[in-house]
Structure 1
């Protein structure tokens, strides 16, 4: 039986549209953003990540009103981009600027940057090679640094790159290579514990070895049985999600208690955002899971509402 613990003072709990089955700006299988915000507040969360650009309002005043009227605050924005494709650089920077501008306008200072998947999200078909070439790796860190410098200097927003299943930053080796080839001043890590487990990495080891590079966290658990199916059957991430690879804590891997304990030792205040990939799901599914997840994490001390960087 889990017992209550003292609140972990350096960690701040939030959630994201992903936990309501939202992967796209628009999709018939997703709940309206107003329902997401209403249920997020009802579930007891006070911080939210914006999710895919365009799902929530993109007008800063309207977004601020929608969020503030429900007693919510924004922890960070979310964007997607391919640092390994130089021909897409200009368009990617332009898109990232739009997201950073909105993120900063609502008082947030983190931008979660998600690399593209090399398999189609819905069909699982390969769209490019699962491995980067030596030439692509050579410039990956440099582009991350340049993008991070733009965001920090012009928007006061920190770039935190998010490892993702079926992307080129998925395995432990790929995550460490990105960290070793990028500059801590400009490009750091959004540690997604579930995607690290999906890539058969060790989130706790990453926290202990690269704690100073972890600027933001997605806390997520994966079913190890379905992970084994992924590798045995060569499944795409979309199919794995349909089979239920993402599970609510404390089921699955990694052990959320061990993750929280490791994060509590960091000399920094960190947003910890709940994510459970549920796309597609019935509209009534997310809210009970969100409530149970918040309650469970609260028993592990993860219940803070303080804004990181705001002091005691």
Structure 2
């Protein structure tokens, strides 16, 4: 039987950075994550949770938690040739911790993107030229190979709003131009909907390349406003773009069916963007979301 392992991550508690006073303290995050019934978690930004493997393992074990994957967050320059060495060095830190606590997936999130999340200003052009794409594909391949050969960890590339891999055509270009032996896709159902794509269709079309899932929904009214007003993704999140299931898009039962139909064990990690958020808000949402997704067939 196909196993869909349900978990969550710091993002669902309003965590976008390693250290920020507006974020839920990490001890409270772990306590509440376990308290609402989750067993699996993704680690979130490197440095938010303890980075000493022994201490992290102890903190998780005494709460009955296990690690689905690590997260490389905050370094998006794979399309810039001069930045690969630093990205690789920083990703190695995440990979070492990920492997040390028994996980085998590393989610690479290409943020910050080409826009400022607060002001909406464009920091770079909104599309890559062919040279940029060649660099991005080569760097992604090289990064995936290094993680596999050095740490036994698989690169799960996370497509993202306001990044150069956001829409379905861009995702296909990434997958077509990278080696399946070293690069898989972290499918984010909400980001794909935000970019105009359909998660269930992508799963059916590329079943062998989807290696990991972030599951969430987007409020179509906020998405429409973001497009009409040319808002950055961070501005849309502040307006409530990432909403509690089942209020938004995509239709999650069709996503669950597509995952089961493809017949592969998969981590399905809830990632509801809520930065910044009042500390008392995430846990009740997490409990309701877990109950809803469990009812829909993710156990």
Which of residues 206, 209, 220 is equivalent to 2:216?
Answer: 220
Which of residues 262, 268, 276 is equivalent to 2:264?
Answer: 268
Which of residues 20, 24, 42 is equivalent to 1:27?
Answer: 20
What do residues 189-238 of structure 1 show as CA deviations (whole Å, max 9, x unaligned)?
00000000011111111100001001100001001111111110000111
Match of 1:13 in 2: 6
RCO comparison, higher one (Cα < 8 Å, 6+): 1
For the pair 1:93 / 2:78, whether they are aligned, the reply is: no
Q: Distance in 1 between matches of 2:87 and 2:102?
A: 23
Contact 2:2 2:264 in 1 (8 A): no
Q: Distance in 2 between matches of 1:124 and 1:205?
A: 31
Q: Distance in 2 between matches of 1:110 and 1:218?
A: 13
For the pair 1:42 / 2:35, whether they are aligned, the reply is: yes
For the pair 1:109 / 2:104, whether they are aligned, the reply is: yes
1:111 counterpart SS class = strand
The Cα shift of 1:139 comes to: 2.8
User: How many residues are treated as equivalent by the alignment?
Assistant: 296
Match of 1:61 in 2: 54
2:206 counterpart SS class = helix
The Cα shift of 1:267 comes to: 2.8
Match of 1:128 in 2: 124
- Mark the runs of 5 or more structure 1 residues left unpaired by the alignment: 1-7, 304-312
Q: Distance in 2 between matches of 1:283 and 1:22?
A: 11
Q: Distance in 2 between matches of 1:86 and 1:43?
A: 44
Q: Distance in 2 between matches of 1:169 and 1:285?
A: 31
Task: State the 4+ residue runs in structure 1 displaced beyond 6 angstroms.
Answer: none
Q: Distance in 2 between matches of 1:182 and 1:269?
A: 22
Q: Distance in 1 between matches of 2:34 and 2:230?
A: 38
Which of residues 42, 45, 51 is equivalent to 1:52?
Answer: 45
Superposition CA RMSD, Å: 0.9
Match of 1:205 in 2: 201
Which shows bigger deviation, 175-184 or 119-128? Answer: 119-128
Which of residues 140, 143, 148 is equivalent to 1:152?
Answer: 148
Match of 1:137 in 2: 133
For the pair 1:74 / 2:70, whether they are aligned, the reply is: no
Match of 2:248 in 1: 252
Q: Distance in 1 between matches of 2:227 and 2:201?
A: 22
The Cα shift of 1:177 comes to: 0.6
What do residues 43-92 of structure 1 show as CA deviations (whole Å, max 9, x unaligned)?
10000000001000011011111111100000000003321011001111
For the pair 1:282 / 2:278, whether they are aligned, the reply is: yes
- Mark the runs of 5 or more structure 2 residues left unpaired by the alignment: none
